[in-house]
Amino acid sequence: MERIPMTPDGYKKMKDELDRLLKVDRPQNIKDIATARAHGDLSENAEYHAAREKQSFIEGRIQELQSKTAKAQVIDPSKLKHSKVAFGAKVKLFDLETDEEKEYFLVGPDEADVKDGKISITSPVAKALLGKEVGDEVTIQAPSKIFKYEVIEIVFE
């Protein structure tokens, strides 16, 4: 079984969503289906069809989350001691062209949220950063242009 790296926070969010689906959303959906079924003719009952469609979504999401949590390899970055960029690192970069600082947090694929600065360990940016140390220059080839950064800080928290 292929393991999926995940931070403790990412794992907790996934487990919380799974618990909510199992304990709140699924039971409510079962009640909604029963209520809609009691309204009679199912072939023209929009409420019933909507509830069944929602049931399909809920069950699919439950299966997906159960699979991902079973494969999760929870790695606590605060327990890591590295001088090089690795999973769980918060990396501060200095853009050599714009003189701006950027910060990325390398997380598992299911935790990535670019707006929040969390990038997947499998992304091109993260792959370019892996193994780098403070002071190293990194060149990242994006579809539109080439970015040049200097690694100015690596933190595991």
With a cut of 80, say whether residue 108 has pLDDT above it: yes
Residue 67 has pLDDT above 90, yes or no: yes
How far is C-alpha 151 from the chain's CA centre? 24
The residue among 74, 97, 113 that closes a domain is 74
Domain match, 68 and 8 both = yes
Q: Do 65 and 94 belong together in one domain?
A: no
φ, ψ of residue 92 in degrees (nearest 5): -100, 130
Q: Is the dihedral of CA 60, 108, 105, 112 positive or negative?
A: negative
Instruction: Of 22-26, 127-131, 143-147, give the lowest mean pLDDT range.
Output: 143-147
Mean pLDDT confidence for 93-111: 93
Asked whether residue 126 falls in the same domain as residue 82, the answer is yes
Q: Same domain, yes or no, for 23 and 69?
A: yes
pLDDT value at 85 more than 80:
yes
Q: With 80 as the cut, is the pLDDT of residue 70 above it?
A: yes
34 and 81, same domain (yes or no): no
26: domain CATH number? 1.10.287.180
Q: Given a cut of 80, is residue 141 above it in pLDDT?
A: yes
CATH number at residue 125: 3.10.50.30
pLDDT of residue 79: 82
Give yes or no: residues 95 and 43 share one domain. no
Closest C-alpha among 1, 4, 33, 2 to residue 122: 4
Residue 23: closest CA among 71, 62, 63, 81: 62
pLDDT at 1: 72
What rounded mean pLDDT belongs to the chain? 92
Tell me, yes or no, whether 85 and 128 share the same domain: yes
Q: Which of 24, 59, 74 is the last residue of a domain?
A: 74
Residues of the chain with pLDDT > 70: what percent?
100
pLDDT at 40: 77
The contacts found for 74-83 with CB under 8 angstroms, 24 or more apart, are 74/6, 74/7, 74/8, 74/11, 75/5, 75/6, 75/7, 76/7, 76/8, 77/7, 77/156, 77/157, 78/156, 78/157, 80/156, 81/156, 82/154, 82/156, 83/133, 83/134, 83/154
Residue 16: which domain range? 4-74
Residue 59 has pLDDT above 90, yes or no: yes
Percent of the chain with pLDDT over 90: 74
Q: Residue 44 above 90 pLDDT?
A: no
Across the range 21-26, mean pLDDT stands at 97
pLDDT for 153 equals 94
Check whether residue 43 and residue 60 sit in a common domain.
Answer: yes
Residue 38 has pLDDT above 80, yes or no: yes
Q: Which of 39, 74, 109 is the last residue of a domain?
A: 74
